[in-house]
Structure 1
Amino acid sequence: MQRCDYYLCLTIYTFTFITGFPANILAFYTLIRKVWRKPAPIDILLLNLTISDLLFLIFLPFKMQEVANNMVWNIQYFLCPLSGFVFYMTIYNSTFFLTAVSVERYLGVAFPIQHSLWRRPIYAVFASIFIWVLSILHLSIVYIVPYYDPSGMVPPSRNICYEGFSDAQLEILLPVRLELCIVLFCVPLLICSFCYINFIRILSKLPNISRRRRLRAIGLALGTLLVFVFCFGPYNVSHVVGFITKSSPAWRDKALLLSTFNACLDPIIFYFTSAAVRNTLGAMMRGIWGRCWCPQTLWSSRKEPPETEKNSLPKPQEITNAL
């Protein structure tokens, strides 16, 4: 049985939950308002990615409890395959939604006129539904395998979650893991790499974009590719190694730890991709800064300004428009 290092795993899971949950809640609030007012394809894709990350974080405490209990599952067993299904399904959801965002951004710079003519929010909705269905169907194996016992002689262990598989279970699970690596990781990685490499190449040649915006867009593209490889690469390599050796590698749990980081790294991608998220975060920071300086503000507001200064004060409507 794989033994996840107690302090390492619990520290990473806790850090991911504490940082990722509020950041994704903020992104969800911002994107749902943006989609409700004026839906754009990229906002719909980012909203679905946020929902996927929040599902991941909601079920992350089950993994934390399992690690804290020395990898012994001591709660209701039906929560084991359910939490595992959501946990792994949302990981592969992220690969597809990050890829969809890369395709959207590439088409916007490679074919700006055609893309603007065919750019419809409904297409992003259909793409999101397709991604959810594809991930659910593929990862349903995580829910099915723990209950699969063709012999009917040895009951499945109820104190170990998603480990200790029989030979009959591994005959099904290992090829499926290899297929997950190829279809849900390698193919999206190739598409994402193609889109962002060409995105950077085209953007570097455009003369009418400021240097600051160009560097931010290029940095976002490179950062997304690094997150893709860093978070999802080692875990999917473990699928290939497991298929070759006919057993799960001992370092598989540590590779899975890197995948959890994606939930707290995605909000950074949201910040640089969506202006709505940047504006909401900026408004929150201004509010916090204003509260920190509220005594000085209240003191200064008691002073009666000269008549010339009264007439020069901006109207409330002008302040609202400036924010």
Structure 2
Amino acid sequence: MQTNKEIAQKSTMYWTKPLSDLILTVDSITLMIGLPTNLLALYTFIWKIKRRAMPLDVLLLSLTISDLLVLIFLPIRMKEAADMKWTLSYFMCPLMGYVIYTTIYNSTLLLTAISVERYLGVAFPIKYKPTRNPRNAVIAVVLFWVTTMAHCSFVYIVQQYETNNDTHPEPLNRDSCHTMFNDKQLKIILPFRLELFIVLFCIPFIICSFCYIKFILILSQLPKFNPKKRCRAIGLAVVTFLVFIICFMPFNVSHLVNFIVSSIPSWRVYTLLPSTFNACLDPFIFYFSSSALRQTFTQFTRGLINRLQVFCFWRLFKCSTVRERLQNSSNISQ
């Protein structure tokens, strides 16, 4: 078990140049890809729900909002990484952690709900259709947010329990916003993190795996099923599995290791990067899940290409006109 002295020392050893560069690189890529694609998805799902709301649209809209919340706070983490020190107000430190951790677990529940919705629609099309009400999806979304917010609130309640100011200084008085816990707090936090690993990661992952495997098997047994739709279904399952394994598994495995060894592993700091990187992978799930988003994306891409063509044509026309004027002026001078 870590002593208070060791925790105090770690609070001044958090940032390294490689860690700073890695966070700036990954978060920059996440922000550049995730922000425009999620804004496009947000516009599409709001428009789709206004026209005709479906349960899948409600779930995808909530997942988009969850990703956008992460993206809003990424510049704050990037500033901390660039300065290699927390320089903002103390209030922003726990708020950033609370939002990021809440959205991570909210995303796992939403992805699981999406897999269940897709499976039920294919496995029981006649029985499930009458109950396919967007109101049920709204209730599920509210329950997911309440559950994840309550779980993550527990960490910050414990953070105030048995706190010693010498070993838990404000972020402005140490070099990071990284949360430190003393021995008494760890006795409460470690079993709680194990519960997070089992309830909010393992169970959703098992349910999601079952639904998508059955989903693909059912579609593969339909002889006249559209090949393009079958490819999209397989793509949806593959991307979702990648999100769970690459983005969410490392962070949650660190909870399990944390519980087994009774201390926080040094590599845990790196596991949060793929979790936030999920914000730029979810739009691929949106693309495979929603025909409305595919249509919007196609229209947006065509419009962008047309504008680029017009711009390039105008630039070429302007350059050729300038060259003609220069040639005419040179001929006149001669």
The answer to whether structure 1 residue 222 and structure 2 residue 238 are counterparts is yes
**Where in structure 2 are the equivalents of 1:143-292 lying within 5 Å?**
143-149=156-162, 154=166, 156-159=168-171, 160-292=176-308
**Where in structure 2 are the equivalents of 1:123-162 lying within 5 Å?**
123-149=136-162, 154=166, 156-159=168-171, 160-162=176-178
CA RMSD of aligned residues (A): 1.9
The answer to whether structure 1 residue 95 and structure 2 residue 116 are counterparts is no
Residue pair 2:235, 2:288 contacting (<8 A) in 1 also: no
Cα separation, 2, equivalents of 1:20 and 1:166:
36
The answer to whether structure 1 residue 59 and structure 2 residue 73 are counterparts is yes
| Residue-pair matches, total | 296
Q: Aligned letter for 2:124?
A: F
Cα separation, 2, equivalents of 1:230 and 1:147:
32
Q: Aligned letter for 2:57?
A: D
Residue pair 1:148, 1:169 contacting (<8 A) in 2 also: yes
Q: CA deviation at 1:297?
A: 9.8
C-alpha change, 1:222 and 1:86, in structure 2 (3 Å) is: same
Structure 2 residue ranges without an equivalent (≥5)? 1-9, 315-334
SS at match of 1:164: coil
Q: CA deviation at 1:225?
A: 1.2
Q: CA deviation at 1:293?
A: 3.5
Cα separation, 1, equivalents of 2:180 and 2:279:
28
Cα separation, 2, equivalents of 1:146 and 1:17:
30
Q: 2:131 aligns with which of 110, 115, 118?
A: 118
The answer to whether structure 1 residue 32 and structure 2 residue 46 are counterparts is yes
Cα separation, 2, equivalents of 1:177 and 1:67:
26
Cα separation, 2, equivalents of 1:39 and 1:77:
41
Cα deviation 1:143-167 (Å, max 9, x = unaligned): 32333335x6647311242333211
Q: CA deviation at 1:21?
A: 1.1
Residue of structure 2 equivalent to 1:318: none
Residue pair 2:197, 2:255 contacting (<8 A) in 1 also: yes
**Where in structure 2 are the equivalents of 1:286-301 lying within 5 Å?**
286-294=302-310
Q: Aligned letter for 1:18?
A: M
Residue of structure 1 equivalent to 2:58: 44
Cα deviation 1:248-292 (Å, max 9, x = unaligned): 111111111111111000011101110111111111112122223
Greater mean alpha carbon deviation, residues 239-248 or residues 136-145: 136-145
The answer to whether structure 1 residue 75 and structure 2 residue 88 are counterparts is yes
Cα separation, 2, equivalents of 1:276 and 1:55:
23
Q: Aligned letter for 1:143?
A: Y
The answer to whether structure 1 residue 19 and structure 2 residue 33 are counterparts is yes
Q: Aligned letter for 1:243?
A: F
Task: Provide TM-score, normalisation by structure 2.
Answer: 0.84
Cα separation, 2, equivalents of 1:187 and 1:52:
20
C-alpha change, 1:80 and 1:112, in structure 2 (3 Å) is: same
Q: Aligned letter for 1:112?
A: P
Cα separation, 1, equivalents of 2:271 and 2:87:
24
Q: CA deviation at 1:59?
A: 1.3
Q: CA deviation at 1:296?
A: 10
Cα separation, 2, equivalents of 1:25 and 1:292:
21
Residue pair 1:84, 1:142 contacting (<8 A) in 2 also: no
Cα separation, 2, equivalents of 1:175 and 1:3:
28
